[in-house]
Amino acid sequence: MSSLQPVRGTHDLLADEHRLHRLVCETAHDIALRYGYHEISTPIFESTDVFARTLGETSDIVTKEMYTFEDRNGDSITLRPEYTAGIARMLMSNGLYHNLPLKTFARGPMFRRERPQKGRQRQFHQIDVEILGVADPQADVEVISLGAHILGALGLSADIKLELNSLGDTESRQVYRRQLVEYFSDHREHLSDDSLMRLEKNPLRILDSKDRGDREIVKGAPLLAGSLNALSEDFFASVKEGLTAVGIGFELNAYLVRGMDYYCHTAFEFTTTTLGAQGAVLAGGRYDGLVETMGGTPTPGIGWAAGVERLAMMAGTPPPAPRPIVIVPVGSETIPQARKVCHLLRHSGFTVDLGFSGNVKKRLNRANKANAVAAVLLGEDELANGTVTVRDMETGEQAEIPLSSLEEHLSRHR
């Protein structure tokens, strides 16, 4: 047995798990299409500036988790830790401003060097939805509705709740930032090192701290809701009314924040208690200042991302593999004709398997292990008469039929 093993935090997707992943991704893709979203894909690695500039110098992703390296030209490259920044870069690089509003769906692997835990790996997969170019709160309602629709289609609604908060506009957040700096400065001696660093550059991030001491201090911090101006309150009211109108329930969570200045207004998470402490399975928010932060033309945006592994764990049992029709040549002389029959059936839409070796008994045993629906036995005498024998693997019944009628006979298994 080889001593080679997957790198820590990565794992192989074997057939059953891969079918479950595909179920999650294809369900999300099909529903996103109904909402008018188009699938895109960004490179698996980008210039480090794409993420360092947008995720923030004080974020855990940038300071602790990104896989960053220099290529042969000395350029700093980072493996993709999330989709949103790359999609904003795509907007600018491809001059897509004239295509706004841009509604995208994406799926693919991400890379973060975080501690592996239940449903979280260092190479993991996400589905992602974004709307660029729409400032109206109805865009917020749509992306949240799309997320709820996907979770419902996967049968997960009963185990998930939607948490919602408003981050307000720039004016509201500036007022709130000053209040937070004043409050946390009074508790400076009890803050963690990470939070002390954030106090200078990004005080809202302290509200996300996992440090126990920080969590106790956060309990007494002022709430953002008290700093919202009339415009922000009206925007949030429209989002809540829109969700209520389509029957999507939610809970307000005053501590649900996003630390970067380009985030505004709506922040949301679909959470569960079935996956341990890290309960978010789909999370997002509005980021009207992101494209401008990256040097582009100011463009409003909102979106979300969800971890495929976590959704797959909740979805549970993988869908069954397709049941094949097994072709069984009886004698080496019939193998060329067996290959021809395989070719014709596969091109007619059937799932067909042809073992590479073994006598008839071994091939039929493999057909049973493969959960085959039927076996087609090709013997020399039958082929000479233009016939084959078809065995129903459920009942064991056999019938000799004309080779020319094989496709029609098997049609129910297509």
Q: pLDDT tens for residues 117-153?
A: 666 788 999 999 999 999 999 999 999 999 999 999 9
Residue-level pLDDT at 316: 86
Predicted pLDDT at 257: 85
Residues 394 and 263 in one domain: no
CATH number of the domain bearing residue 398: 3.40.50.800
Mean pLDDT of the chain: 91
Amino acid, single-letter form, for residue 127: I
Do 46 and 68 belong to one domain?
yes
Domain shared by 73 and 153, yes or no = yes
Q: What is the DSSP letter of 58?
A: T
The CATH number linked to 246 is 3.30.930.10
Q: What is the pTM of this model?
A: 0.90
Residue 129 lies in a domain: yes
- Write down which residue in 315, 349, 365 finishes a domain: 315
Q: 342 lies in which domain range?
A: 325-413
Domain count, the chain: 2
Burial 85-105 (b: 16+ CB within 10 A, else e): bbbbbbbeeeeeeeebebbbb
Residues 51, 57, 63, CA angle at the centre, nearest 5°?
Answer: 85
Tell whether the torsion through CA atoms of 275, 25, 283 and 144 is positive or negative.
negative
- Determine the pLDDT at residue 57: 57
393 has a pLDDT exceeding 80: yes
Burial track 302-325 (b if 16+ CB lie within 10 A, e otherwise): bbbbbbbbbbbbbbeebeeeeebb
If asked whether residues 310 and 347 sit together in one domain, one would say: no
Residue 207 maps to a domain: no
User: Which of the listed residues 315, 346, 365 is the one where a domain comes to its end?
Assistant: 315
Would you say residue 406 lies in a domain? Answer: yes
Instruction: Please state the length of the chain.
Output: 414
Is residue 130 domain-shared with residue 24, that is, in the same domain?
A: yes
Shared domain for 45 and 126, answered yes or no, is yes
Question: What does the pLDDT read at residue 117?
Answer: 65
Task: With respect to residue 206, please indicate whether it lies within any of the assigned structural domains.
Answer: no
What is the DSSP-derived secondary structure letter of residue 351? -
Helices 193-201 and 170-185, packing angle to 10 deg: 140
Statement to judge: residues 259 and 355 lie in one domain? no
* Same domain assignment for residues 294 and 331: no
